[in-house]
Amino acid sequence: MPTDYEQQLKIENENLENEITKLENEFNRYGRVNEYYVQDEVMLVYIQKLLTVLYAVIYFGFIYIIVISDKHVVLKIFWAALFATLPFVVHIVTAYLYSTYLEVLDWLKIGTVTRL
């Protein structure tokens, strides 16, 4: 027959085992989340480089078409400068719209809003 001390020790060991298992599960879950995050970052960099190369090809094609056209020089420079600033303008506008979207979600309390 086990003593009172042995019963308490057994209960405490079971509680510790449960706590260790819980911590191991959390560690494994967060490890997977971090791995998925790293994979997403790599894919994001790849897509960004691909889009940058695509934009450069389109930009140089646009410049070539402008140069061979019969328009005025000032108009050619205007269109080339406008097309060159397009990615920066799009980035500013989309960043503003995304932050506004997050604020609206936060204001409406729809789900958990994660600010990136």
Are residues 57 and 76 located together in one domain of the fold? no
Are residues 52 and 92 located together in one domain of the fold? no
Q: Please tell me the distance from the alpha carbon of residue 20 to that of residue 49, in angstroms, as a whole number.
A: 43
Number of domains in the chain: 2
Contact (CB, 8 A) for 10 and 2: yes
Residue 96 pLDDT exceeds 80: yes
Are residues 16 and 64 located together in one domain of the fold? yes
Are residues 84 and 103 located together in one domain of the fold? yes
Are residues 4 and 25 located together in one domain of the fold? yes
pLDDT of residue 18: 84
Residue 102 pLDDT exceeds 70: yes
pLDDT of residue 113: 53
pLDDT tens digits, one per residue of 2-16? 678 788 888 888 888
Residue 114 pLDDT exceeds 60: no
pLDDT of residue 32: 67
pLDDT of residue 2: 65
Considering only residues 88 and 57, tell me which one the structure prediction assigns the higher pLDDT. Answer: 57
Q: Please tell me the distance from the alpha carbon of residue 9 to that of residue 23, in angstroms, as a whole number.
A: 21
Closest C-alpha among 81, 92, 83 to residue 55: 83
Q: In which domain, by residue range, is 92 found?
A: 72-116
Q: Please tell me the distance from the alpha carbon of residue 66 to that of residue 16, in angstroms, as a whole number.
A: 73
Are residues 5 and 58 located together in one domain of the fold? yes
Angle at 100 between CA 97 and CA 106, to 5 degrees: 145
Are residues 45 and 97 located together in one domain of the fold? no
Are residues 88 and 59 located together in one domain of the fold? no
Q: Is 113 helix (H, G, I), strand (E, B) or coil?
A: coil
Look at residues 31, 52, 68 and tell me which one is the last residue of a structural domain: 68
pLDDT tens digits, one per residue of 18-68? 888 887 777 766 666 667 777 777 787 888 888 888 888 888 888 888 888
pTM assigned to the model: 0.45
Are residues 76 and 95 located together in one domain of the fold? yes
pLDDT of residue 49: 87
pLDDT of residue 33: 64
